[in-house]
Structure 1
């Protein structure tokens, strides 16, 4: 039976991996031996709903995870559960707080490691250990020390202070843990291994040795580290940033990708050393992209432009061989049935609820005419943004809306709940700079009809519920730039 390794590079843009001029030897290794998909798209522009689509094979309106509900519903079946039922050992290592048991993503996993903790616990003192100094640190740690197991809490606090490098968001520790797991496992069953690497996510803090090759001429690493990385202050016009600032941020971002390329290469070598590589289908993708000054935005919110939804996807192993490049439209929602087909797992009950379609090579399925993406609620909300930065300009309230997009090979339509419509001829205007909605009303009508037909084709779930989260989780999410 075939192992599955599913690697998500959190916040990885398509162009940063598959159109990059930088040396990325691991990605080149995988591309030469596997299959590269150049038209792969996320179903949502940020972590929680995108992973919901990845795990369920459903779109956001059907699985319900969004900025409003803030949880992946326990009633939504997952591909992980399908692999578990097929006698796979199921293992996850997550470096993003959204992808945890607290938000509904641990279901089906035999082992789920929250890699920001040394000892797995519901209490996380990491932010206090990382952020506070002197008396504030002592007071903060003391306050939470006896919430749960004090020994575990102290171990995790020390790990947060000393065990994790400032220039590594967990990739090195992830690989170290996987190395031990591969060495220790005596299970003869195949495994499904999911990994979320966080390196490309704000804030960008790549190791200095990976950064020098990317920085603009005359810019030092120390100078680069001083450029504003507070996306919300920029969006609220509280801080001015120049083109040079964004070139520096893009250099830091690309350095994070280069560092992650090496860490994924190390993961491949660990599988090879354990004798598992030849029996493994190895998937590397992104959950969404990133705006680095694009469209006047930073981070990965408030839009459905290709900078956020066009993602890299490379698969190697099994039927995915030969160095082929495929330009047909695929979505992250399609990975669940594709991986089940690759592993020859029937899973009829799970397949009944799928919206994704398998793209296993040599399978007789029609290519997609369109892909769809949804942004069901703004994250952060206007209230959360105001709480963070104070008064916000009137134009920022334009982001207080939901969005849906339909995209073909030539045209793309983005429709807002506020009545706005954007139309782009993306084959001629790949950066989505010229809105042609008023010039091509017939094309708008055509794509809106297609979008409405798709929306009417399935039952929508209630996304108004909320999830209770611990203060530690809220703190860590704010560490990552998510405002609650």
Structure 2
């Protein structure tokens, strides 16, 4: 997929990597090489800190909670919105998606506009017959396995805080032995999450493209191997260990870290250090997966026409920077600032926007620019009201939001400052950070900058009103009057 002048509509390949942080690109050799040869966006943000609150914006160019609320599973449906895949299909694109996350499944409307929408988990189970996982929208549940009973008993005791730190470390030894037994004797995979391994995802992608490829193509591939701080995908690096002792030692570390991270009162610097070291292993594996996917695309697509590769993440991951280990509940930059890389047949003038603020809501605009179509046409095709389109087009900042039960948070981010407003119960909390002087967002400057806070809150009130959450907009209006 070398850089070239486009003579016709290019193939568009979107690769989304679950939980990849902005600052982790430098730890991935292949991805860093792609970024150096393509366009790397320096100020790109997800519009939410978790999968349900980021992908709606990627596919519809609208805020995550546009005229909707999360359902009881914390998912956000996009059935009532028009998607980018529907628009590209109208332009003659063959649209194919290969995903492996229940929050971006057809249940929530993400299959709209795709000629072929493949849930990799179901495909893998049906074709390869190697999986023991069973998918459920109420959670990710494993098929019954007698050897998992001790682990479930231990986790039940942990939940009720019936185990001390010493007992948990002993329990991790027991589960590590069980893991080795399953892996070496019963050939059951050690992966903790019900996600298809990245290398297998690439293999399935190749199989599908060989059968259904035609151009122009819009292909979306979602990679889950970093999810849950990598616990979902340590089987690949484990598989490459040459001795049983090495396998056992790494499994033991994994289990110790996994069990302790379930209890915040047992976290310490040693565990956090181990967790980050294990994260590096998962990053290296994802880098390998990207290299294999790139080689596959080079082989199958480059001879058929111009191609643009877009790599991004749905959100980041927290390592206790603000007390959160994982993701989903806060609007700080370790969760919102994500990489965006364009490589291949993009127009020269697209390079002008790499240093500007952008978010997943701008993804549709970027695609339209690649296609040589104006932004106004995008709003028309996506059925977005002109009032709404103009409001977001003229803003100097970007928006982010999340809604978890009684806690609802919104953020407005500019190049210099970020404002966060949180509705929790009957209370309203505000935060303001100078992200130039304080990029780690540690010093709340609300009291010393009331005018800037008020300006940002007015913008957020308009944003919330346009989304259709009138009661929240009224609460923010009342807060501004006090």
Q: How many pairs align?
A: 396
The 2-side partners of 1:251 and 1:293 are apart by 15
Residue aligning to 2:359: 331
* SS of structure 2 residue aligned to 1:422: strand
Q: In 1, are the aligned partners of 2:420 and 2:431 still within 8 Å (CA)?
A: yes
Secondary structure, counterpart of 2:65 in structure 1: helix
Match 1:243 to one of 260, 265, 269: 269
- 2:79 corresponding residue in structure 1: 74
Give yes or no for contact 1:421–1:437 (8 Å, CA) kept in 2: yes
- After TM superposition, give the deviation of residue 302 of structure 1 in Å: 1.8
Q: Is the 8 A contact 1:57 1:334 kept in 2?
A: yes
The structure whose residues are more often helix, as a share, is 2
Q: Does 1:252 align with 2:261?
A: no
Q: Tell me whether 1:283 sits opposite 2:314 in the alignment.
A: no
Does the aligned pair in 2 maintain the 1:33–1:322 contact within 8 Å? no
Q: Where in structure 2 are there 5+ consecutive unaligned residues? A: 1-8, 136-140, 150-185, 242-247, 473-482
Change in CA separation of 1:243 and 1:136 when aligned onto 2, cut-off 3 Å = closer
Alignment of 1:22-33 (within 5 A): 22=27, 24-33=28-37
Q: Does 1:416 align with 2:444?
A: no
Give the Å deviation of 1:351: 4.2
**Cα-Cα RMSD:** 3.5
Are the structure 2 counterparts of residues 120 and 222 from structure 1 closer, same or farther at C-alpha, using a change threshold of 3 Å?
closer
Of 103, 121, 145, the residue aligned with 1:133 is: 145
1:26-425 matches, cutoff 5 A: 26-62=30-66, 64=68, 66=70, 70-117=75-122, 118=124, 126-127=133-134, 130=142, 132-134=144-146, 166=191, 169-185=196-212, 187=214, 189-202=215-228, 203-204=230-231, 205-206=233-234, 207-208=236-237, 221-229=250-258, 233-234=262-263, 237=264, 239-276=265-302, 279-319=306-346, 326-344=354-372, 346=377, 349-353=380-384, 369-375=396-402, 377-378=403-404, 381=405, 400-417=406-423, 418-425=427-434
Pick closer, same or farther for the CA change 1:58–1:210 going to 2, 3 Å. Answer: farther
Q: CA deviation at 1:430?
A: 0.9
Write the deviation string for residues 139-177 of structure 1: whole angstroms up to 9, x where unpaired. xxxxxxxxxxxxxxxxxxxxxx96967387421111101
1:275-307 per-residue CA deviation (whole Å, 9 max, x = no partner) reads 427611100000011112221111112210111
Any conservation in 1 of the 2:260–2:267 contact (CA below 8 Å)? no
Give 3-state SS (helix, strand or coil) of 2:309's partner: strand
Change (3 A) 1:222 1:233: closer
Checking the alignment, whether the CA contact within 8 Å between 2:238 and 2:250 is kept in structure 1 is no
Please, which of 12, 26, 39 is the counterpart of residue 4 of structure 1? 12
The two structures have a TM-score, normalised by structure 1, of 0.73
Check the 8 A contact 2:84/2:382 in 1, yes or no: no
Q: Secondary structure at the match of 1:26?
A: helix
Gaps of 5+ in 1: 138-160, 213-218, 360-364, 382-399, 465-484
Aligned match of 2:463? 454
Distance 1:53 1:186, change over 3 A: closer
Question: Equivalent residue of 1:11, what SS?
Answer: coil
In the alignment, is the contact (CA less than 8 A) between 1:100 and 1:114 conserved in 2?
yes
- In the other structure, the counterpart of 2:180 is none
